[in-house]
Structure 1
Amino acid sequence: MTTVSDPEVEVREGTYGDKVIAVEPGGAEFIPLNERHGRPLQLFWTWTSPNMEFATVFVGFIGVVFFGLSFWATFLAILIGTTLGSITQGILSTSGPTYGVPQMVLSRRGFGFWGNIMPAGINALVAGIGWFAVNSVSGALALNALTHMPEVLCLLIVVVVQLAVAFFGYNLIHVFERYAFPVLVIIFVIASAVTLGKAHPGAVHHTIPGAFLIELGATFGYAVGWNPYASDYTRYFKPDTNKRAIAFWAFLGLLLSCVLLETVGAAAGTIEKVATNANPTAGWTGIFPTWLGDLTLIAIVIGGIAANAINIYS
């Protein structure tokens, strides 16, 4: 043991700290105060990058193509639903520094030890299996379309990378999301501009009963689906970290990424070539120049990995 200026505070040598290529030593237990590090700003890219993927685009796409909403009605549902889900993400994120444990462990305070088994189990099935499969397959198909390697090999590559990032843990995940952030934002913003330029927001559709509420629920559910992980990515912060900053950056990262790409999905749904294609991914990237289509496929692969690294870890 070595000590700092306060003789009552002991710091272990070789602590996790800001190490990146190092396996996280802890698990779901309380994070010791001498291991605390990080700043609220990193939550912005940590919650932006995982939503920069095709699944987010599809949430907006279904509002127009499957539910028959207009572009503007879909946009309103996206804005309301995502805002509500992002607010709770910000609030829950503030618990990490105080309690130092993951969100699903923290939820025992509300449900009790045994009562927490059901929500934790449902979360494991939905995120650990369901979303893992969706994001892995989406990334693999994009990689296959880009490289023409066998689909099974593409799936293997995507899964191995996801597992590797999650295996090393908290610090590598934050760093991966940080460096994926500019790549994903630049590519998807360009793709968004092209899509919005080709869209027909005034198009009239045959709306199914309750379409607005269904889309509102879908967008809220997509955003709030990250809530069970909220404190997982703030539990290493020091207890005195600014709670407002934590809530703001977690809220903003989730809100902007989901609203942008879901709105783009709604716009893509107004383009006949996309809406009538049996493969929405191929239909969407098919309206781009070849160079942008290839870049978008790369972004879909990276975005899928960014999302699943968080799913696997949490």
Structure 2
Amino acid sequence: MTEPLTGPQKSAVGIESATIQPIPADQRSGTNRDMFTIWFGTNVMVLAIVTGALSTTVFGQPAWSAALAIIIGNLVGAVFMALHSAQGPRLGVPQMVQTKGQFGSRGSVLIVLIVVLMYLGFFTSILIFGGASLASVIPPLGHSGGILIIAVISLAAAIWGYALIHTYARIMTYLSGAVLLLAFVWIFAVHSVPAEFFHTSGASLAGFMGTVSASAVWQLAYAPYVSDYSRYLPVKTGAKPAFWMSYWGTTLGSILPMFLGASVGLLLPNLDPVVALTKATAGISGLVVVVFSVGVAATNAMNLYCGTLCTITVVQTFAPRFAARGRERALIAAGLVLIAISVALTVGDDFTQTYNNFLTLLLGSLVPWTAVNLVDYYLIRHGDYTVEDFFRRDGGRYGLVNWPAVLCYLIGVVVQIPFMVLGTAYTGPIARLLGNTDLSFLVGLIVVSPLYYATVTVLARRKSRAISRNHRQSIHPERTEPR
């Protein structure tokens, strides 16, 4: 087995052997620019285009409203994503390992399992849309063939690990960026755009907020694993450079392909977004679809890589002596791929609405976690954690279960339910009163952030008073005796 790769500047030919272990400060390398390329290069892909298309197809927004909502959702959601990224250089561990510092060793298991399901959900969605893209330009492949090709490429990159994923993303930054620009020029300059494309009627608060939510969850979905990549950066990189490079990489890499998705949704509203993209770029559709489909393999490799690390984290929680390396990571990754392929090959034809509902549920489960994590890291502990205790069976100073964090998380999930809109499947009573407008993620942030901070602060004060009282009693025991 090879030595752990320690940064994106290392050769991508060796298989990474490190998994969830802390990356020592003297074994880190790379620059903050690597955070830009990995998040830009992996966002320019088919699934981002499909997410953007939701704004004009599922949510029925005109061009101006769709564009504004996409920008707002991404800019706001990426703040939380980048704040998590800034944690990596300091702690040097995957995000879900660090979550033990807020929820306790076993209290974090619920969160980690939800995140594993998230990775599988995104992995499966990318297989479905990416497979359809490949099949649209290479018909002999068929949908199943496209799914299998993307799955194999994703698995290979995930097994090789961090360095290859970074190299892959760096190449795709330039390649996907150029093809994305070409696609815009081709659609608007080569093909005639109907006058109704720029109509201004039809905007609604419900559709606008639905687009904002879908865009925000796109960014929030990176929060559970963004520091898995920044953990390899040298400590001297600092939090601010990691924050800003991650922020602009992910926002620019997401907003532009989402604009493309919104555009093809307006041009061909009655078609599947993938088919609409192929028709809208007729003449260069083969190049566009193949490049964007190859790009999804990079993103799927990240989903698989981090899903594997989360699975290892769960196992290590109950078996601290389990020291997974490259071989174990490869076996777990292969198992997750088999599950995703099985689901991808059995879903129905109309997966777009199902995908939108998945994003809504995902947002509801991630928002309370990110609120607890960021408040704890930045406002309570100020980044001061004992990393060694994350790997102890008893959780060390963080214990087995930190009930205030767990309860605040559960409250955060529950309070969002009345504000949720899940397509035709469910509309919360308050969302219905607001004209089917989904404000659930805003409610989750507003409730959980101050609730967790106040709870921890009050408990800390009570503990401090109890310690002071016991100290006084130990010095002057006669004061405690009855007269």
Q: Same fold (TM over 0.5)?
A: yes
1:132 aligned to 2:126? no
Q: What letter is aligned with 1:132?
A: F
Decide whether aligned partners of structure 1 residues 275 and 234 sit closer, same or farther in structure 2, where only a CA change above 3 A counts. same
1:80 positional shift: 1.0
| Residue in structure 2 matched with residue 149 of structure 1 by the alignment | 140
Identify the range of structure 1 (191-200 vs 235-244) with the bigger mean alpha-carbon deviation: 191-200
The unaligned stretches of length 5 or more in structure 2 are 307-483
Whole-Å Cα distance in 2 between the matches of residues 14 and 270 of structure 1? 51
1:139 positional shift: 2.0
Q: What letter is aligned with 1:110?
A: Q
Higher gyration radius (CA): 2
| Residue in structure 2 matched with residue 241 of structure 1 by the alignment | 237
1:42 positional shift: 0.9
**CA contact under 8 A between 2:35 and 2:249: conserved in structure 1?**
yes
Decide whether aligned partners of structure 1 residues 145 and 269 sit closer, same or farther in structure 2, where only a CA change above 3 A counts. closer
Identify the range of structure 1 (110-119 vs 223-232) with the bigger mean alpha-carbon deviation: 110-119
Decide whether aligned partners of structure 1 residues 144 and 266 sit closer, same or farther in structure 2, where only a CA change above 3 A counts. closer
Whole-Å Cα distance in 1 between the matches of residues 220 and 72 of structure 2? 12
**CA contact under 8 A between 1:138 and 1:304: conserved in structure 2?**
no
The SS at the match of 1:65 is coil
The unaligned stretches of length 5 or more in structure 1 are 1-12
**Matching residue within 67, 73, 80 for 1:81:** 73
What whole-Å deviation, never above 9, does each CA across 1:255-310 have from its counterpart, x for those lacking one?
00111111222222221xx1122x221122212232x1111111221121011011
| Residue in structure 1 matched with residue 297 of structure 2 by the alignment | 305
| Residue in structure 1 matched with residue 447 of structure 2 by the alignment | none
Whole-Å Cα distance in 1 between the matches of residues 11 and 186 of structure 2? 40
Percent identity over paired residues? 25
1:34 positional shift: 2.8
TM-score (norm 2): 0.59
Whole-Å Cα distance in 1 between the matches of residues 74 and 138 of structure 2? 34
1:97 positional shift: 1.3
Whole-Å Cα distance in 2 between the matches of residues 135 and 181 of structure 1? 18
Whole-Å Cα distance in 2 between the matches of residues 209 and 259 of structure 1? 20
| Residue in structure 2 matched with residue 275 of structure 1 by the alignment | 269
Q: How many residues align?
A: 297
| Residue in structure 1 matched with residue 228 of structure 2 by the alignment | 232
**CA contact under 8 A between 2:78 and 2:219: conserved in structure 1?**
yes
Q: What pairs up with 1:7-22 in 2 under 5 angstroms?
A: 16-17=5-6, 18-22=10-14
1:192 positional shift: 2.1
The SS at the match of 1:172 is helix
Decide whether aligned partners of structure 1 residues 23 and 14 sit closer, same or farther in structure 2, where only a CA change above 3 A counts. closer
| Residue in structure 1 matched with residue 98 of structure 2 by the alignment | 106
Decide whether aligned partners of structure 1 residues 61 and 244 sit closer, same or farther in structure 2, where only a CA change above 3 A counts. same
Decide whether aligned partners of structure 1 residues 196 and 56 sit closer, same or farther in structure 2, where only a CA change above 3 A counts. farther
**CA contact under 8 A between 2:96 and 2:225: conserved in structure 1?**
yes
Q: What pairs up with 1:48-87 in 2 under 5 angstroms?
A: 48-87=40-79
Larger RCO: Structure 1 or Structure 2 (Cα < 8 Å, ≥ 6 residues apart)?
Answer: 1
| Residue in structure 2 matched with residue 169 of structure 1 by the alignment | 161
Whole-Å Cα distance in 2 between the matches of residues 167 and 205 of structure 1? 49
Decide whether aligned partners of structure 1 residues 289 and 210 sit closer, same or farther in structure 2, where only a CA change above 3 A counts. closer
Q: What pairs up with 1:161-310 in 2 under 5 angstroms?
A: 161-196=153-188, 198=193, 200-204=196-200, 206=202, 210-271=206-267, 274-277=268-271, 279-290=272-283, 292-310=284-302
Q: What letter is aligned with 1:143?
A: L
TM-score (norm 1): 0.89
Decide whether aligned partners of structure 1 residues 243 and 183 sit closer, same or farther in structure 2, where only a CA change above 3 A counts. same
1:208 positional shift: 6.0
1:82 positional shift: 0.3
1:26 aligned to 2:22? no
1:202 positional shift: 2.8
Identify the range of structure 1 (255-264 vs 13-22) with the bigger mean alpha-carbon deviation: 13-22
Whole-Å Cα distance in 2 between the matches of residues 169 and 184 of structure 1? 21
Whole-Å Cα distance in 2 between the matches of residues 16 and 223 of structure 1? 27
1:14 positional shift: 5.6
Decide whether aligned partners of structure 1 residues 138 and 72 sit closer, same or farther in structure 2, where only a CA change above 3 A counts. same
Identify the range of structure 1 (150-159 vs 44-53) with the bigger mean alpha-carbon deviation: 150-159
